[in-house]
Structure formats: C-alpha cells, structure tokens
Copies of this chain bind each other. A is one copy, B any other.
Amino acid sequence: MRKRPSTLADVARRAGTSTAVVSYVMNNGPRPVAAATRERVLAAAAELGYRPNRIARALRSRTTGVAGLVLADASNPYFGALARHVERALEGRDLLTLVGNAGYSAQRQRHLVERFLAAQVDGLVIVSSDSVGDVAEVAEAAGVPAVYIHNGPAGAPVAAADNQQAVREAVAHLRGHGHRHVAFLAGPDDEGPVGVRRAAWHAAVDGDPGAELLRCDYSRATADALTRRLAAAGTLPRALVTATDEQAIGVLSGAWAHGLAVPDRLAVISLDGTPESAHTAPALTVTEQPLQAMAEQAVALLFDEAAAPLTPHAALVARRSCGCAGQDLGS
C-alpha cells in the first residue's frame, strides 16, 4: 500500500499512448480521441486507480476549482445556514469551498482573503463584518472575482434580500394583532443590514413616540439578559420586532425565565427566519431570508457576466410568537 500515486504519464505508458491523449480522454476534450484509444486509456486508468492531480492541473490551467467563503461569525446559525446554501450553489458549478471564520475581526478577514488568494481560489464569497475595508477590492486587483453576501461595505454590491419590505410586513402584522406600539430590537449600532432594518422600522412606525428602540449584541445571551432586565423593571414592550433570530431566541429564553408569556404578554417577530426559528418555544413568527436565492445570486454575480442584481423577497411565516394560533402552525 501507500505506493506513489499513479500519474498521467503512468497511464499513458500503460495504454501505449501519449500523455496528451490521456489528458483529452480524462477531460473529454478539448480534442477528439478515437473510440478504441479511449477504451485503452480508460482501462489503464482504472487498473492503476488513477486520480487526476488537481493541483498540477491548477498550476497549468490557472483554475483550481476551489472558491473561498469568508464568514463574519460562524457560530451564528444564520451564517451557518447561509454558508450551507453558498456551498451548495458553489457545488452546482463544480467548485469546492474553502471556509474561514473572521469572527467580526477586520484583521482576520483580511488575513483570510490573503490566504485564499495565495491558494489561488477561483472566486471569493464574503459575508463582511461591519465597518471593515473593502476586501473585495484586493481580490479583484489580483484578478479574482469577489462578491459580498448579506453584508458588505457601503457602495459595494451585495447579494441581499429586501430587508425594508420585510420589516414593513413584520410591523404591519403585529399591528394586525392589535398592537399600537411596535418596538424594535436592533444591534449595538446602525451598521450593515441591521442598520437598514432599524431605519425601515423607524419609517414604518412613522415616529410613533410609543415605539421603543432597544439595542443589544447579536447573541442569545445578551438578548436574554436584556429581556430579564426590562421584565424586572416592568418596561418590556408588548410587541417587538427583533433584528435577528439569535436575539429573538434570547428574548424567548429571558421571558420564560421571568414567567412572562409569549405571545400574550409579549408578541415577537424575528427578521432572519433560520431553520432554528421553527421549533422554539413558542415557535417564532419570522420574515424568512431567502438564503438560497441570495447564495445563487452571489455565485451568479461571481461568474456570470450578465447576472442581474435582483433583491429577493423575505416572506413572512406566521407561527405562534406573534399571537397567531389557529391550527398547528408549528413548522
């Protein structure tokens, strides 16, 4: 075992042909090969257990068949779900995916991009952290296409959903349940997609002074703590739109710990709509980010000249946390 792997030359020798011919049959082109020759080559390759060395191919043909995916925060299930869709979209183009987690650090993001470029990736999909330089530019300067998804620096094209429309629907839905004041739980600042969502909420409530703006980090833990604090102070709103599922789940957890009933005492709608949101207690009503469409759009932007920059819709999925009940809306 563990002998030297067979090469193209080994196959050519055994089949009694040139390496060029072996290459042509392995790649089905670019030039034709006589049927009989092809058979001999295929047989020789099988006998030797030949596996083409993609690295050698890459060096010569200047294409590796590998793309890089840079995540802002891999521990957030939303980004995890997004990553799976990007992987699948890339796989649809026969590309392998190299992943890296920037952990919200500009420096790590830049470092990952550099390493991926050194690995000669064919393209880069980036979920940017907030307020970080335009790393796509350095990729483009190296001749490697790069695209942002979900979040990118101002000005750069980003494959993202129509977040404004989603927020409008969420606010309208809660109002439909009779809530006059709809609060919003934003992130620590107004950057990135959450900034867009926050602004859209502000527009939707039209300056209603009873509509509170809350802020916390994008984690279950901080949203949980915030909810407990407000509950203890008796200042929890009755209707809330959260910027992310992680926050919504933390709110549910904090409300439970305080014995506050959702949706009766607090109605909640979240704006991500990850798979996790379907089986919380109670199940979350969400506007569902069209992750597959976003991923496909990003990949199209990367490789298709004519890709149109559409903005897919995030549909509202009514479950329990908003006050909808009726029959089993559980999934």
Which positions in A face B, CB cutoff 8 Å?
1-2, 5, 51-56, 58-59, 64-66, 74-75, 77, 80-81, 83-84, 87-88, 96-101, 114-120, 140-143, 220-221, 224, 228, 249-250, 252-257, 275-276, 278-283, 320, 328, 330-331
Of B65, B74, B97, B281, which one neighbours A84 at CB under 8 angstroms? B74
Of B55, B141, B220, which one neighbours A2 at CB under 8 angstroms? B141
Cα–Cα distance between A292 and B321 once the two chains are bound (Å): 35
Given A224-B330, A257-B328, 11 more pairs with CB closer than 8 A: A51-B114, A51-B142, A55-B64, A84-B101, A96-B115, A99-B99, A221-B331, A250-B279, A253-B330, A257-B281, A257-B320
Q: Check B100 against A98 for contact (C-beta < 8 Å).
A: no
Q: Check B119 against A2 for contact (C-beta < 8 Å).
A: no
Q: Check B53 against A120 for contact (C-beta < 8 Å).
A: yes
From A77, which residue of chain B is reached at the shortest CB distance? B77
Chain B nearest CB: distance from A330 CB in Å?
6
Q: Check B276 against A118 for contact (C-beta < 8 Å).
A: no
From A88, which residue of chain B is reached at the shortest CB distance? B101
Q: Check A87 against B114 for contact (C-beta < 8 Å).
A: no
Residues of B within 8 A of A115 (CB): 96
Q: Pick the most buried of A2, A80, A278, A282: most chain B CB atoms within 10 A of its CB.
A: A80
Q: Check B141 against A51 for contact (C-beta < 8 Å).
A: no
Cα–Cα distance between A283 and B55 once the two chains are bound (Å): 48
Q: Check A257 against B282 for contact (C-beta < 8 Å).
A: yes
Q: Check A66 against B253 for contact (C-beta < 8 Å).
A: no
From A58, which residue of chain B is reached at the shortest CB distance? B55
Chain B nearest CB: distance from A244 CB in Å?
13
Q: How many copies does the complex hold?
A: 2
Cα–Cα distance between A220 and B331 once the two chains are bound (Å): 10
Can you offer 28 A-B residue contacts whose CB atoms are under 8 A? A1-B140, A2-B140, A2-B141, A2-B143, A5-B142, A5-B143, A51-B142, A55-B55, A55-B58, A55-B59, A66-B119, A75-B84, A77-B80, A77-B276, A87-B100, A97-B98, A220-B278, A221-B278, A221-B279, A224-B330, A249-B280, A253-B281, A253-B330, A256-B282, A257-B282, A257-B283, A257-B320, A280-B281
Cα–Cα distance between A279 and B256 once the two chains are bound (Å): 10
Q: Check B101 against A98 for contact (C-beta < 8 Å).
A: no
Residues of B within 8 A of A255 (CB): 281
Of B58, B96, B118, which one neighbours A100 at CB under 8 angstroms? B96
Residues of B within 8 A of A120 (CB): 53-55
Q: Check B280 against A253 for contact (C-beta < 8 Å).
A: yes
Q: Check B87 against A279 for contact (C-beta < 8 Å).
A: no
Chain B nearest CB: distance from A68 CB in Å?
9
Q: Check A119 against B96 for contact (C-beta < 8 Å).
A: yes
Residues of B within 8 A of A275 (CB): 75
Chain B nearest CB: distance from A131 CB in Å?
24
Q: Pick the most buried of A64, A80, A99, A281: most chain B CB atoms within 10 A of its CB.
A: A281
Residues of B within 8 A of A282 (CB): 253, 256-257
Residues of B within 8 A of A221 (CB): 278-279, 331
Closest 8 A-B residue pairs measured CB to CB?
A: A256-B281, A220-B279, A253-B279, A281-B281, A80-B80, A55-B120, A54-B118, A252-B281
